A = this chain, B = another copy of it.
Amino acid sequence: MRQFFTITELTREFDISTRTLRYYEDEGMIAPLRRGRRRLYSISDRTRLKLILRGKRLGFTLAEIREIVTMYDAAPGEAGQLLHFLNKIAERRADLLQKRSDIEITLRELEEVERGCHERLGALGSADVD
């Protein structure tokens, strides 16, 4: 894998706009290097971006995502901070578990609806099947 990526390479790979990438930078989510004025995204920038997009898919706000992403690269050194950190983690986990349970329920409900559809289709189809 390459060392660096241009902005358009990333926009293509992840199907987002340059505006989005620059916005994330403005918001302090990613800080690519520059060659002259051009942005150069490192592999770890790319990884951060993946994290951000995953967060988005899960419906987290950028502020929430910032918190999560920040956790990954900076575990603080002081005990009090570490405890605070662990609390944040617990919060996020609770959030994720809630989401997961919501998903399970919804999947089951969709299955039911789907079964209903198939039954109806069957009833209709029995009139003229090949």
A residues in contact (CB < 8 Å) with B: 54, 56-60, 68, 71-72, 75, 77, 79, 82-83, 85-86, 89, 92-93, 96-100, 102-107, 109-110, 113-114, 116-118, 120-121, 124-125
Contacts and interface: CB of A to CB of B under 8 A. Distances in A.
Determine the main DSSP class of A at the interface with B.
Answer: helix
9 contacts: A54-B102, A58-B103, A72-B113, A75-B116, A75-B117, A82-B120, A89-B113, A93-B107, A100-B104
Given A57-B59, A89-B117, A100-B100, A109 B79 contact: no
Copies in the complex: 2
A102 B72 contact: no
Contact of A77 (B57, B96, B120): B120
Given A68-B106, A85-B117, A97-B107, 16 more contacts: A54-B106, A57-B98, A57-B99, A58-B59, A58-B102, A58-B106, A71-B110, A72-B113, A79-B124, A82-B117, A86-B118, A89-B117, A96-B103, A96-B106, A100-B100, A100-B104
A54 B99 CA distance: 8
Contacts of A59: 56-60
